[in-house]
Amino acid sequence: MRRWEAGRVLAALASAIGAAVAVASGCGAIDGYDCDEYLECDVINEDGTSNGGCEGTCVDATFGSFVQKPLLVWMGPKSISPPCDAALRKARPDGAAQLVTFDLLYAEPEPHPGCDPCACTPPACALPAGLAVTSGFMCDEGPGETVTPFEAPAGWDGSCVAPGAVPPAALGSFALAPVTERPCEVVAAPVPRDGELPGDAKVALVCEDALGTTPCPNGNEQCVVAEAELAAGWRRCILSEVDGDYIECPAFEDITGPRFSEKFIFWKVAYDRRECTPCACTETAPSQCEAIVSTFEDAACGVLVASVAVSENGSCINPEPGSTLGSMSAAWRVNAPGSCAPSGGELDDDRRVEGRRTLCCLPEGI
């Protein structure tokens, strides 16, 4: 073998031995090389045990005003919020780094849908409901007297009606029901939903993983769980330490590798328990109602028995002895419904949002 060939072989052997030593001693640049490449260390030793290195993904640790460690975050309805130990597809063995709750944040409530406007039915004057006929004098309904109803149909407009026939023996007197001043009433309307995050507020469950303390080859990096190990719905994020709408995700030019670039806003306290105040109707002017009610012996309102003015107190009539009762009619003498004003239908003040926090997450698929 020529001398120069022997020298080449010896140089190659020395390089291989140097690389092997570097690998065995941990991650880092190989002395004697003028490049900046690093050798990645295996995190599992030949006997299957961990050598203490990062088993997930190493990310740049330039976090600025954020909590100085990556966190695992689940975002969704509070009612189905999982525990932190559900973040991993496979449970870690006893003694291994476990996940613990770091914080629970709330999304800002959706805008309240508002309250339905309050409205009132108009007041109205209603004609008497009919007569109460008794065989006694002065509307006596005592023992031994017969009482015969002589009622008008519902919604009676005063036109001639014949509810029945009352013979002379049963017609001693009759009581006229009063006219009715029907007050205004609240118009029934669908009840609007409350603004309170309808029992299912969106939250961000923030969990801390001790895996972040394991070393990465680059001292400016921290270790986070690999995405393949995360259960569905979980993200790897960093969390701002201060309250402010000026907080942006880290975007330093010297950051290499994955960036926490997807921004989400949550709050330490956020709820909207506002409800709509109940509707009410207040009379602003009284009604004035008076009617003339006429009774007749025949069924066609032809032979008059009596005509009486009736207001809110009603009246008792003693017809001529021997009279019969077969029909009745009515007409308004005064029909002047009053007025009223609605109130209510306003939101009360039970909304609170404070402690703004910014979450910046690694994009999914990294």
Q: Do 189 and 106 share a structural domain?
A: yes
Q: What's the whole-model pTM score?
A: 0.55
The pLDDT profile of the chain, 366 residues, written as one tens digit per residue, is 333 333 333 333 333 333 333 333 334 433 444 434 433 444 444 433 344 578 788 888 878 889 988 999 999 999 899 999 899 998 877 767 678 899 999 998 887 778 888 999 999 999 998 999 999 999 888 888 899 999 999 989 999 999 999 999 999 999 998 998 889 999 876 555 444 444 578 999 999 986 656 778 877 888 888 899 999 999 999 999 888 888 899 877 767 778 899 999 999 998 888 888 999 999 999 999 999 999 999 999 999 999 999 998 888 999 999 999 999 999 999 999 999 999 998 888 888 889 999 999 999 887
Residue 240: Cβ-neighbour burial (10 angstroms; 0-12, 13-18, 19+): buried
Q: Do 270 and 330 share a structural domain?
A: no
Q: Do 152 and 262 share a structural domain?
A: no
Tell me the H-state helices in the chain. Answer: 3-24
Residue 174: Cβ-neighbour burial (10 angstroms; 0-12, 13-18, 19+): buried
Q: Do 260 and 365 share a structural domain?
A: yes
Q: Do 157 and 300 share a structural domain?
A: yes
Domain that holds residue 226: 55-121+183-278+348-366
Q: Do 258 and 225 share a structural domain?
A: yes
Position 107 in a domain: yes
Q: Do 310 and 195 share a structural domain?
A: no
Q: Do 166 and 104 share a structural domain?
A: no
CB atoms within 10 A of CB 326: 20
Residues 227-260 have pLDDT tens digits of 999 999 999 999 998 888 888 998 777 677 788 9
Position 342 in a domain: no
Q: Do 25 and 1 share a structural domain?
A: yes
Dig out the tokens for 121 from the structure: 């039915």
Position 341 in a domain: no
C-alpha distances in Å from residue 35, one per residue of 23, 39, 305:
16, 12, 124
Position 33 in a domain: yes
Give the total number of structural domains in the chain: 3
Q: Do 24 and 154 share a structural domain?
A: no
Q: Do 298 and 201 share a structural domain?
A: no
Helix, strand or coil, per DSSP, at residue 118: coil
In contact, 203 and 359? CB cutoff 8 Å: no
